Amino acid sequence: MADDMNRTFMPNVDSPEELQALQLEGLRWTLRHSYENSPFYRKRLQEAGISPDDLRSLEDLVRLPFTTAEDLQEDYPFPLRAVPFDEIVRIHASSGTTGKRKVLCYTQRDLADWAHMFARCYEMAGLSQQDRVQIAVGYGLWTAGVGFQLGCEKLGAMAVPIGPGNMAMQCELLVDLQSTVFCATASMALLMGEEVQRRNLQDRLALKKVIMGAERHSESMDRRIKELLGVEHLFDIPGLTELYGPGTGLDCGRHEGIHYWADYYILEIIDPDTLEPVPPGQMGEMVVTTLRKEAAPLIRYRTRDLTRLLPQPCSCGNPLPLHDRILGRSDDMFIVRAVNIYPGQIDHVLSQIPEIGSEYQVHLERKQDGRDYMTIRVERRLGIGTEQNETIARRITRDLRGRLLVSADAEILDQGTLPRTERKSKRVFDHRK
């Protein structure tokens, strides 16, 4: 029997075949809708020699051209738009790392679909109408806060919308309202845990679950947050503004991977260099194609997020497929002495060392000899003495060389030395430029 007894928001499919039939129908609709209503896509598809009638099976997806973040910027301020302005009821935007921000528009139906997907996330995390959900992610132009709130209200739980920061108010409401679920970035959740510990509030909380979005986090950070807030489950919610926002998947209580909503979008994993699809289990870039999105549909949109498809079904019995955690962004990669490194790989190595905390920084320098040097700054855990500094530093150097084939120095600091933030922590400092 599947774990998810309550399936109000789950798709009405029981097998991969039924899911694929649903996907083919959605893909056909998206292609026709985009071709007929979006000047951007019509031009792009015509250039590729593709008409909507050419689509016969899901295998034909790989013949469609990619869409990229650069396309969104060139088509600014209403990229990919495929409906008249009368039908657009909201916009959200995310910061572009270079150039213009990405603005995405939504129809009434898009917002309803997003709320439904987000309610499904909460359902998958085992929430009910009895839950009280304290929302400590950003509101406004960003998709985060309002997404968390819409889904919560759709499910029928109680939303406590606070936004990030405001530690005193967060503590007050956690205690007074007995919030059962806390939603935040991993950095904010850690900060909250440390604040709860400092104020000695742990025994007065009713928290059971933390739902974390928008930021990659390490296993050791997870352990620390669980311990400080006294919660049983941490859930990972992926999402990007181009694809509605957060809420497009969630790991279930088995935590074997992230179930993604394959009835709303198709996920492909490609090799970012060759652009060819990679087999399940292999890491690559996520490419998404939406199946119902009206205002700004996505056709093979390159997200830059790195993960892999997990080939085996989840033991919970839910037929929605799994992808791994987001292991980083292809833009986050840096190169030291000809070795490609993703911050996620450093997270993983450091998480295996019990004497250090979850916070760290990577500093990259080019010295007079013209070579690159990497220094890792980490904190000792409470209760570990300074006399261990040298042993810990040696282990970090050894483990990084063993796993990543790169040499690094380690600097061991007192607990609490590195900066904490309520948004996303900056971890890599490249002083070479």
Closest CB to Zn ion among residues 167, 314: 314
Q: Which position among 82, 125, 252, 346 is part of the footprint of Zn ion (CB under 5 A)? A: 252
C-alpha 308/C-alpha 228 separation (Å) is 30
Distance from C-alpha of 389 to C-alpha of 410, rounded to nearest angstrom = 9
CB of 255 to Zn ion, least distance (A): 8
Q: Which stretch binds Zn ion (CB under 5 A): 49-57, 104-112, 216-224, 252-260?
A: 252-260
Q: Kindly state the smallest distance separating residue 393's Cβ from Zn ion, in Å.
A: 40
Task: From residue 113, give the alpha-carbon distance in Å to each of 102, 142, 328, 387.
Answer: 21, 18, 27, 56
Structure tokens at 135: 């929302």
CB contact at 8 A, 130 and 6? no
Q: How far is the CB of 346 from Zn ion (least distance, A)?
A: 28
The yes or no reply on residue 210 touching Zn ion (CB under 5 A) is: no
Measured from the CB atom, the residue of 4 and 294 that comes closer to Zn ion is 4
Q: Residue 10 Cβ, how far from Zn ion at the closest point, in Å?
A: 11
Asked whether 271 and 263 are in contact (CB, 8 A), the reply is no
Q: If you search the block for the tokens 């928290």, which residue do you land on?
A: 207
| Terminal CA-CA length for the chain | 56
- Minimum CB–partner distance for residue 327 and Zn ion (Å): 19
Closer residue to Zn ion in complex, CB, 314/376: 314
> Rule CB under 5 A: is residue 24 a binding residue for Zn ion?
no
**Among residues 131 and 251, whose Cβ is nearest to Zn ion?**
251
Backbone angles phi, psi at 268, to 5 degrees: -115, 150
**Which one, 252 or 306, has the nearer CB to Zn ion?**
252
Residue range at the interface with Zn ion (CB under 5 A); choices 144-152, 227-235, 253-261, 271-279: 253-261
> Based on CB atoms, which residue is closest to Zn ion, 192 or 314?
314
Residues that contact Zn ion, how many (by CB under 5 A): 5
Q: How far is the CB of 294 from Zn ion (least distance, A)?
A: 30
Nearer to Zn ion, 13 or 158 (CB): 13
Both tokens assigned to 100? 């213009």
Binding mask 276-315 for Zn ion (x = CB under 5 A): --------------------------------------x-
Give least dist CB 150 to Zn ion, A: 23
Tokens of residue 409, six digits: 């120095």
Let me know: does 3 contact 317? Beta carbons within 8 Å.
yes
- Indicate the angle between helix axes 144-155 and 108-124, nearest 10 degrees: 70
Q: Which range of residues in 23-31, 180-188, 249-257, 393-401 is near Zn ion by CB under 5 A? A: 249-257
- With contacts defined by CB under 5 A, name the span among 88-96, 138-146, 162-170, 244-252 that binds Zn ion: 244-252
Residues 127 and 161: their CA atoms lie apart, in Å, by 17
Running DSSP on this structure, what letter comes out for residue 49?
A: T
Q: Which of residues 347-376 bind Zn ion (CB under 5 A)?
A: none
Q: Nearest approach, Cβ of 223 to Zn ion (angstroms)?
A: 21
| Residue number with CB closer to Zn ion (15 or 200) | 15
The minimum distance between CB 178 and Zn ion, in angstroms, equals: 28
Q: In this structure, how many other beta carbons lie within 10 angstroms of the beta carbon of residue 288?
A: 24
Residue 4 or 285 with smaller CB distance to Zn ion: 4
Question: Is the CB of 252 or the CB of 291 nearer to Zn ion?
Answer: 252
Contact 136, 182 (CB under 8 A): yes
The closest of 177, 124, 92, 167 to 9, measured between CA atoms, is 124
Min dist. Cβ of residue 124 to Zn ion (A): 8
Q: Provide, rounded to whole angstroms, the least separation between the CB of residue 117 and Zn ion.
A: 16
What is the sign of the dihedral through the CA atoms of 214, 219, 221 and 223? positive
Of 73, 77, 78, 68, the closest CA to residue 44 belongs to 68
Residue pair 364/336 in contact by the 8 Å Cβ criterion: yes
Total length of the chain:
433
Q: Does 316 bind Zn ion (CB under 5 A)?
A: yes
Interface with Zn ion by CB under 5 A: which range of 45-53, 69-77, 164-172, 317-325? Answer: 317-325
Q: Smaller CB distance to Zn ion: residue 115 or 252? A: 252
Q: Is 237 helix (H, G, I), strand (E, B) or coil?
A: strand
Helices 186-198 and 167-176, axial angle in degrees (round to 10): 70
Residues that bind Zn ion (CB under 5 A): 252, 254, 314, 316, 318
